[in-house]
Each structure stands twice: as structure tokens, then as C-alpha cells.
Structure 1
Amino acid sequence: MASHEVVPVPLRELTTLRTGAAPERMLDAETTADLIDALQAVWSSGDDWFVLGGGSNLFAGDEPFEGAVVRILTSGIEELPSPHEGRIRLRVQAGHSWDDLVAHAVQRGYAGIEAMSGIPGTVGAAPVQNVGAYGQEIQETLVEVELIDEGASEPVVVPADELGLGFRTSVLKHHYGEGQQRRAVILSVTLDLAVTGASGRVIRGEQLRRALGLSDFEPVSLEWVRERILATRAAKGMLLDEHDPDTHSAGSFFQNAIVPEHIARALPPECPRWPVEPDLDTMTVIPLESYYGLSPRDEKPEGLVKVSSAWMIENSGIGKGFKLPRSRASISTKHALALTNRGGATAAELGELARFIQSRVHAEFGLLLQPEPVLVGVDL
């Protein structure tokens, strides 16, 4: 047995949703070199595999995973100069706690990720699904990632603009029903943050301003923002607490639906919605031999709108705290998007609840909600 191979631990002990049997194999990696060695050992064996960080975005099935799970336990933050005045770069190991990184940045007056305080999981998982909260997303500060592609002998550095970052997605994310566009593992992440010091900064984003209850444009400290965000997340059951079953979840189980404008207009006007920003970098290329001095008039593309899945769940007759008869799985009593394990719930029970919610929302509003966590050994 390789030095980094360990006795497999049931995934229900390593995931916040608390489901999953022990896999066939498990390997722990506490350094980048160990991680590369472990991955290459798994790849050469031909086993099925996946990596596990904080376990906060994984819904694992009741049957043992027939393959290898590589646990990323690396940590460390390196401060680097930024080529931009008034900014600093942080290179962070993939297994480092995301919230510990946010706390580090806030304590030192580095701005750009403070609204994402309290998000569980590891730094390496953050770019995979382009984590975000209250209008702030990692793609705003992400410079590059160091990763290793499946089967490769050496890692490479990939700029952020090559990761296909979108709303809770990237080319590295395993979407329900389909694989990743690029099967690779992140080893480290580099962010570029603004140095504000103790003076803080003016909050301009409307979504974050609403969450913080700001009515003016006076600067606020990063510590104050972090404290308010943590309190808000705790009120929604989105801060892990051993004694609060509402936090035994994978966070938001369903994604907010992104639909064309005409679909959004068909929903009740009370349904909260937010426009999805268009790609402002799109350009039209006209072959020189076809150019006669006038550019063709582009048809204005139909815009996309993000609509509230939580609102649709509650308005399809499923309220907070809802559970099916004799089930140990329920919707959080604090947040309609969170499916929770009330103690000993199986993946089958949580899956049954998820399918029921999907069917009710589809019957009422014609939209099929998509799961946000990575599903392993589970079908919806």
C-alpha cells in the first residue's frame, strides 16, 4: 500500500450533507508533491476517482464508491506583489479552508472576497464552481490556477480567462448528467486583491448593499462587512454548526434558474429576478472582402434572467421545514433552497425529497430545477 493510501473513511463523516459509504480506496495528500503523486498513482491504476476537499458540495450515494477518493489536505498562503498599484496577490494551496483565507484577507485589509465570508469548503473548489455571494464572485479577483490534467506528468498554470467561468460553473465543474469539459485537479489558486487597510472601502454593488442594509456611500471596514455577512448566513442556517441540523446540508441544493427573458415574463411578477450581465467583449468580425463601409445591424439578442428557485419552491406549496412522511430529510427551517439531513438520513431519502421538489416546481412553473452539488452514486 502506497504511503499516502489510508483506510477508507465513510463519506458521511467527511461531507456536510452526511451521506455516503466508505469508498473502495482513499488517499490523503498533505503537500502538493503528495497530491500529484497520489493522483498519478490513481490514474495509472485505471480506477474511477474523484477528489475531496471540504465535502460541502458533494452528495454521495449509499453504496460504496467503486474507485479512489483523493483527499486534498494541503494548506498555506503566500503573499506576492501585484503588477497593479494598490493591490496584492495571494497564492493559496487548494486544500486551504476558504473561510480561513477570507479571514486572513480581511484581517490584513485586502478587499475583494469579504462578501464570501462563511462559505464552506476549500480554496481549490472555489474556481470550479465560481463561488459567489451577495453579488461578489471569485472570478472578479481570480488571476490564475495551477492545475494538473488527468494523465499529465507535470502541472500547468492556467489564466482565469481560460477556465470558462460563468454563473456557478467552469470548464472544470462536473455538471449533473455530464462530465467536465476539462478533467483536472487544481493545486493552487492566485487572487489579486485591493489593499484598503483599516480605512475600508465604499460598497457599490447593489446586491451587497441590500444585504448589508447600507443607505449611504460612506466607507465601511472589511471587518464590519465580514461580521454582517456571517450573521446573515447564520440566520439562514448557512454556517456549519454541529448542534443545528439546518446546517447539515450542501448549502443551496438547487441552482437559481437562468432563463430567457420571455420565460421570466411568464412567471408571476412577484418572483424575484435579476438580469444576467451580457458579454460586453463580444465583437463582430467582418471579412475584408465583404466590407463595404457599413457594419451589419445586429439583432439584439434576447437577454437572460436569473430567477429565484427558493421563491418557486415555496410558491409550489413546499414551505421551510417540509419533509416527506417517515423521512429523516427535510428542507431547512430557515432556507428553502437547503435540503438537510436531520440525523441518519440516507442518500435515498434526500434524493426522494429532491425529486419531489423538482416535480412540484415543474408542475407549477414549467421549470426543472438543477442540483448544485456534485452527485456521486446518486441519480435524480
Structure 2
Amino acid sequence: MADPSPELLSDHTTLHLGGPAGEYVVATTEQELTDTVSAADAAGRPVLVLGGGSNLVVADEGFDGLVVKVATSGITPDTDDPSCGGVLVTVAAGETWDDVVALAVDKEWIGVEALSGVPGSVGATPIQNVGAYGQDVSQTIASVRVWDRRLRGIRTFANAECGFAYRWSRFKADHLDPWGSRFVVLSVTFQFRLGDLGVPVAYAELARALEVDQGARVPARDVREAVLGLRRGKGMVLDEADHDTWSAGSFFTNPVVEPDRVPDGAPAYPQPDGTVKTSAAWLIDHAGFGKGYGAQQSGGRVSLSTKHTLALTNRGQGTTADLLDLAREVRDGVKERFGIELVNEPVLLGVSL
């Protein structure tokens, strides 16, 4: 009997890109996950721990190792007694992030409603400190429970031990080399406020969508619906029929620079350390790369999203090589125009810029 066809990672990434896995295993329990990773480590095999595939760019050649898909489940609140003023909720790494946000809004667990529509799994959220529209997960994460591949045991990191910063954590530093990632996230415990007395809207674009002043308080359900509307308008809510959503979300992080390096007219968000965060999308657009750029150059295989310049998209027939050629062109064009080098947000597996 012929060997079965290898599992293509393009079937497991939101970019729909990536070649075959050497071996593909689905782990539905923590024990399966830790046993599988441990056995591979003992055998000296490279391992890729895969969540929702929403923040991953995989080489066309694939990954010649073991791919472990995290499919664990479980959402466990410790109490829902309003007199406590809050609730600790432990969520398995394999749960779908937006399902958790929807449940939180329904239960009036406050703190993640502005992160609605973000694709991927819960286990990925602390790695890059997922954030959007004035919120990030570090504001609600109480602790992260992991399998330590070096010590071969379970460890729990409190929030202060996670090294959270803008799109950063100790776990992302570790995951920059997916072959050697030390920590496998098993579960995340969130500490939510209870009761919907209104969520302060910190982000100007979201305030405009809600037709309120920035800082005004709005019910969490309204925040969720407004955020979903904004994300859909940018092609940032997954839709298999819409190639603008065949992306890894924002491909470049918003650069943080010294105040005198912010271009005239660019958005500027002062940081506590005296630096300024500016908009990667603004830089890309004003460097001459508008919405839809790249389609003509690639023969229509890849392009910037037609809805949002910060997303690089697979138009259906693209390759990872095509996508990275476009990413380099945009990165180099922004650097030439403004002297600012953009940095990729997704993890690159088997490839580099």
C-alpha cells in the first residue's frame, strides 16, 4: 500500500501557504501534547507546535519534522460570584480565541472585548501579547502554564514573569526559533472584571465607529460588534471566500522610534519611555505601496490587501516565496523613504526576510 499523502501546512495556516509536514499529529489532551513533544525531543526530532496558524509563515518546502496540532479544550471559571468583583478563568491552549471573547462578552467578563475577531488559538495569545483597539491580553492574563521542554516539567509564569511588551513576551523571544522553542503553552488563566458598567474606549478609531468621545464608557457587547465591523472592513475577520482574509493579519509591527524620527503627518503615540509608536500602515501607504499593491508584479498571486495595506495576502495561487518577495519590497521601500525598518510580526518557519 502506498504511503498516505503528507499533511500540507497550507491547509493549517490562514495564509494558505506552506509545504508538507514530515509528520502531523493532533493532540486533544495535555497528556497527549506533552507526551508527543517529549518523545520527539528524546529522539532528537524537530518539533513545530501549531495553534490556529494565524501568525505563521511556512516555507514552500514545508517542515521536515513533527508538527503537533494543539486541539485541547476547556474553559473553567473559578467563580462567577459578582461580590468577588472579578473572575479567574483558565482556558486550554487549543480553544479558539474569538469563541472565548464571545463567551466573555456573554458572561460579562470584561477586558478582552476589543480583541474580538482576532484569529488563532488561546495558546498563541500570550506569545505575541495579542492586542488591538486599545487592549492587549497582558492586561487580563493572570498566569501562563507551560510545558518546559528543557526541564521536562510543567511550570506556571505569573503575569510579571512573562516579559510582556508591545507584541512581545518571553514566549515570543523563545518562539523566534520554532525548532528550538523551549516552552509549550498548555493553558492561560485570565483575570476578568465582572459586570458590564461600560468599557472605556481608549482607541480613537473605535470611538469614532461607536460615535462616542474617546474615553467614554460603552457596553462590552457594543464594543465587540464595532470591532468586528472595523476588522471586517479591513479584511481581518477570516472568510474563506474573501482572499483579503488569506493573510497573517498585520504583517509588520508598528515601529517604535525616537520622536524626531516620526515623519511629518504620521500618527504618533507617545510611549512611557519617551519614544513614539507610529503607524506601519501609514508608512507603507506613504512610501507608495497602496491597497492592492503587488498584484501586477506577482501576476495576481499575492498582494497587499485591497482593504488594508498592513496585510499581505495570498490571492489563491501564491507561494511563500512570492509573499516574502513582496514583504521585502515593502520593507525596503519604507526604509528608503523614511529611514525606518519594519519588522515582521508573524513567525517565519524555514524562511527569513
TM-score, normalising length: structure 2: 0.92
1:358 counterpart = 2:331: yes
Question: Quick check: 2:203–2:214 contact (8 Å CA) kept in 1?
Answer: no
Question: Quick check: 1:171–1:182 contact (8 Å CA) kept in 2?
Answer: no
* Residues 195-344 of structure 1 aligned to structure 2 (within 5 Å): 195-197=194-196, 200-207=197-204, 208-215=206-213, 219-264=217-262, 267-268=263-264, 270-278=265-273, 303-323=274-294, 324-344=297-317
Residue of structure 2 aligned with 1:347, choices 309, 317, 320 = 320
Question: Quick check: 1:94–1:123 contact (8 Å CA) kept in 2?
Answer: yes
How many Å separate the matches in 2 of 1:120 and 1:177? 20
1:255 is displaced (CA, Å) by: 0.7
1:19-70 CA-to-partner distances (Å, cap 9, x unmatched) read: 1111112221001111111111111111122210000000001013122111
Secondary structure of residue in 2 paired with 1:364: helix
Question: Quick check: 1:7–1:25 contact (8 Å CA) kept in 2?
Answer: no
Who wins on radius of gyration, i.e. which is larger?
1
Question: Quick check: 2:146–2:186 contact (8 Å CA) kept in 1?
Answer: yes
Change in CA separation of 1:119 and 1:216 when aligned onto 2, cut-off 3 Å: closer
Change in CA separation of 1:177 and 1:184 when aligned onto 2, cut-off 3 Å: closer
Secondary structure of residue in 2 paired with 1:89: strand
How many Å separate the matches in 2 of 1:110 and 1:246? 31
Report sequence identity in percent. Answer: 42
Q: Which residue of 1 aligns with 2:345?
A: 372
RMSD of the TM alignment (CA)? Answer: 2.2
| Letter aligned with residue 205 of structure 1 | A
Q: Which residue of 2 aligns with 1:90?
A: 89
1:217 is displaced (CA, Å) by: 6.8
Question: Quick check: 2:7–2:23 contact (8 Å CA) kept in 1?
Answer: no
Question: Quick check: 1:172–1:180 contact (8 Å CA) kept in 2?
Answer: no
How many Å separate the matches in 1 of 2:225 and 2:80? 27
Query: Gapped runs of 5+ residues in structure 1?
Result: 1-5, 279-302
Q: Which residue of 2 aligns with 1:294?
A: none
1:174-206 CA-to-partner distances (Å, cap 9, x unmatched) read: 489768997201100000001115xx4142524
How many Å separate the matches in 1 of 2:134 and 2:215? 17
1:221 is displaced (CA, Å) by: 2.2
Question: Quick check: 2:9–2:62 contact (8 Å CA) kept in 1?
Answer: no
Secondary structure of residue in 1 paired with 2:282: helix
1:220 is displaced (CA, Å) by: 2.8
Secondary structure of residue in 2 paired with 1:191: strand
Q: Which residue of 2 aligns with 1:193?
A: 192
* Residues 146-165 of structure 1 aligned to structure 2 (within 5 Å): 146-165=145-164
Change in CA separation of 1:59 and 1:218 when aligned onto 2, cut-off 3 Å: closer
How many Å separate the matches in 1 of 2:345 and 2:18? 17
Change in CA separation of 1:150 and 1:216 when aligned onto 2, cut-off 3 Å: closer
How many Å separate the matches in 1 of 2:107 and 2:121? 20
Secondary structure of residue in 1 paired with 2:281: helix
Change in CA separation of 1:164 and 1:180 when aligned onto 2, cut-off 3 Å: farther
Question: Quick check: 1:212–1:229 contact (8 Å CA) kept in 2?
Answer: no
Q: Which residue of 2 aligns with 1:31?
A: 29
Secondary structure of residue in 2 paired with 1:252: coil
How many Å separate the matches in 2 of 1:261 and 1:322? 29
* Worse-superposed segment, 61-70 or 164-173: 61-70
Question: Quick check: 1:25–1:68 contact (8 Å CA) kept in 2?
Answer: yes
Aligned residues: 346
How many Å separate the matches in 1 of 2:9 and 2:199? 43
